[in-house]
Amino acid sequence: MRGEVDLWGTVHPVTLVQLQNNEVIQVKGPKDHQSETVYSLQIGAGLRKWKNLSKPEMGHFAKHGIEPKEVVGEFRVTQDALLPVGTQIPITHFVVGQYLDVLGISKAHGTQGVMKRWGFSGGRASHGSSLQHRKPGSIAGGNTTPGRVWKGTHMAGRMGGDRITVQNLQLLKINTEDNILYIRGCIPGNKDSWVEVRDALKRPPRIPPPFPTHLPAIQPNRPVKKKKYLRIKFPDPYKKIRTIDWETKWADARIALRSAQQQGLLTDDGEGDDGDEDDDLFGEK
């Protein structure tokens, strides 16, 4: 993670995710899913060598004429969003400001005790705790009822290494040259690990994005100017302060101060009725 500063000086914690050779491998329809309404795209990312593939993998990539990919994922789409095999997925497929769901394998910690795995406080550190410093304590009732350990009781065991989904992460910035997404927040997994990035299921955009979100150049030989960075435009947090007429406010404050002095609420020595000295903020008498 790193800190990304916006135009107003606010620092946002972001995670950088790079798209590496994302390409459509296979198009699946109702026959593949045995359903009349399910369509999906199989997309691969990264590159592998042919010698490192198994025979089924070799046949799959050779059948569709695609270079071997390091990872393969499947994404459900609507029928009108199907793409032909071999289509590259560009970074501009995403829209700055949209919310994303990121799926990945969390960090594996191996076998851990209840203090690290579940946040137990543990036993006493000194008196009356003979070899009970990091133990969970009682795990079941001591009576006949229940007379067993409840299902789901927190105990020591394997920690991490699970498939985790982090929802509703906002896309703050896009680097179009290096194919990097700047996602606000943390995502599961170690550094340099593979993740799946999907459109947020529970937070769709208020204004539907253009469909498709990316159109290739009509004239491929003609150079196309594109911005290196696409940033989200945050609202001005000081807009309300900028619209305040400070000269009028200062004039009203001077009038109120003179009125208080004329009514005797402020004496000439600068002390009020409460006995505290009042600073002359305006430099006038």
Say which CATH number the domain at 60 has. 3.30.160.810
pLDDT of residue 267: 62
276 and 194, same domain (yes or no): no
Residue 140 inside a domain? The answer is no
Q: How many separate domains does the chain show?
A: 3
Whole-structure pTM value: 0.76
d(CA 162, CA 106) in angstroms, rounded, equals 5
Helix (H) or strand (E) holding 43: strand 39-45
Do residues 198 and 75 touch, judged by C-beta distance below 8 A?
yes
Encode pLDDT of 207-255 as tens digits.
887 777 776 655 556 565 667 788 887 877 777 777 778 888 888 888 9
Say which CATH number the domain at 176 has. 2.40.30
| Residue that finishes a domain, picked among 88, 110, 135 | 88
188 and 229, same domain (yes or no): yes
107 and 179, same domain (yes or no): yes
227 and 253, same domain (yes or no): no
Do residues 44 and 23 touch, judged by C-beta distance below 8 A?
yes
pLDDT of residue 260: 86
pLDDT at 200 over 70: yes
Range of the domain at 67: 20-88
Encode pLDDT of 99-139 as tens digits.
999 999 999 999 999 999 999 999 998 888 888 899 998 88
Residue 111 inside a domain? The answer is yes
111 and 215, same domain (yes or no): yes
pLDDT at 47 over 80: yes
Where residue 195 falls among pLDDT bands split at 50, 70, 90?
Answer: very high
155-168: b or e for each residue (b if 16 or more CB lie within 10 Å)? ebeebeeeebebee
116 and 194, same domain (yes or no): yes
Residue 213 inside a domain? The answer is yes
Encode pLDDT of 67-93 as tens digits.
999 999 999 998 888 999 999 998 988
d(CA 171, CA 180) in angstroms, rounded, equals 11
63 and 195, same domain (yes or no): no
162 and 219, same domain (yes or no): yes
Residue 79 inside a domain? The answer is yes
Half-sphere exposure of 252 (CA within 13 A, CB side): 5
113 and 209, same domain (yes or no): yes
pLDDT of residue 49: 93
Residue 138 inside a domain? The answer is no
104 and 177, same domain (yes or no): yes
43 and 102, same domain (yes or no): no
Encode pLDDT of 133-173 as tens digits.
999 988 887 777 888 898 999 999 999 999 999 999 999 99
Residue 216 inside a domain? The answer is yes
The vertex-138 CA angle with 132 and 142, nearest 5°, equals 135
Residue 158 inside a domain? The answer is yes
pLDDT of residue 285: 45
196 and 252, same domain (yes or no): no
